[in-house]
Amino acid sequence: MVYELIIIGGGPAGITAGIYAARKKLKTLLITKEWGGQVTKATEIQNWPGTKKISGMDLIKQMSEHLKEFEIEIKQGKEVIDLDKKDDIFTVRDNDQAYEAKAVIIATGKIPRTLNIPGEEEFKGRGVSFCATCDAPMFKDKVVAVIGGGNAGFMTAMDLIKYTKKIYILEFFPEMKGDPVTKEKLKKTGKVEFILNAAVKEIKGKKLAPYRAEGSGSGFVESLIYEDRKTSKDVELKLEGVFIAVGMMPKVGFAEKLVELNKIGEIVIDKDNYTKTPGLFAAGDITDIKYEQIVIAAGEGAKAVLAATEYLKNKQ
């Protein structure tokens, strides 16, 4: 079977696209690894118009439940690994299946940027985290490091402060880039130590014998090594948690051959959400739109369906 439309992504842009597609009675499939992505990590959202205050988790729950009110096919827990086009038909592949569609909307958003250093992947979930709102309570009375001295790093530290004993905030550059007001707040707690010019090199932990633990055979994080870029000396910090907050990045590998990317790897679209490939549209944070906000992503999702509908109509 060939779908009229496949939407890849289950954040605000993808869900809104799904709602609009379903209401237009397009034969649609929405594929997503998870609901919400980035949004679910927000503790409190105050700028979703019409809702005074809501957690990211709750907002996404409301949105996905709204989507499920309509007739739409959903594949959840699947990550798309390849997208190709041949003779006007797109093939979307996840780990175990391939689907065909006449039009596709990519709305996969952004994922946290990684440091690509030894130990980062190995100790993920064992002391290394990309989400303070999710994991903070597990670090009660512990010493942790936050990598990144921008606003994301500061917010991460704010989420951690009421649990942890001590927080090191490590910044690569000679100054902290985050908002000075938040920095002052963090300073006042007496629990935070700011470290500048720090190039993080490795996250270390105890190796367990492979037969004792399932998976990677690793224990938990025990220390972090950074190079002080001024003295060129390595410094080791004893700690039990490392929160990485060095920004977000798009992940477009699966569609690379069909889209044009800008310098930071975002999909280039025109103002009506068209990519360079006819029939392929993109919406939300994965694109080169200027502002990344939930309501803007939702608007983009709606617009992308309008464009896809026009495209499908002209193809008939």
CA atoms within 13 A on the CB side of 259: 31
Minimum Å gap between C-beta 81 and another protein is 27
Rg over alpha carbons for the chain, rounded to the nearest Å, is: 22
Site for another protein in 38-77 (CB under 8 A): 46-52, 59, 62-63, 65-66, 69
Minimum Å gap between C-beta 227 and another protein is 36
Cα angle 139, 247, 83; round to 5: 115
**Does residue 77 contact residue 33 with C-beta atoms inside 8 Å?**
yes
Region of 115-123, 132-140, 187-195, 297-305 interacting with another protein (CB under 8 A): 297-305
Region of 30-38, 87-95, 233-241, 290-298 interacting with another protein (CB under 8 A): 290-298
Among 3, 5, 10, 16, binds another protein (CB under 8 A): 16
Collapse the DSSP code of 14 into the 3-class scheme (helix H, G, I; strand E, B; otherwise coil) and give the result.
helix
Q: Between 167 and 186, how does the x/- string for binding to another protein read (CB under 8 A)?
A: --------------------
Q: Which is nearer to another protein, 198 or 308 (CB)?
A: 308
Buried b (16+ CB within 10 A) or exposed e, 206-227: eeeeeeeeeeeebeebbbbbbb
Should residue 232 be labelled a site residue for another protein when binding is judged by CB under 8 A?
no
**Does residue 107 contact residue 304 with C-beta atoms inside 8 Å?**
yes
Site for another protein in 68-127 (CB under 8 A): 69
Site for another protein in 233-272 (CB under 8 A): 271-272
Among 25, 162, 207, 315, binds another protein (CB under 8 A): 25
Minimum Å gap between C-beta 145 and another protein is 30
- Total residues binding another protein (CB under 8 A): 37
Distance, CA of 100 to CA of 171 (rounded, Å): 46
Region of 17-25, 27-35, 122-130, 240-248 interacting with another protein (CB under 8 A): 17-25
CA torsion 50-53-58-59 (nearest 10°) is: 40
Distance, CA of 22 to CA of 99 (rounded, Å): 18
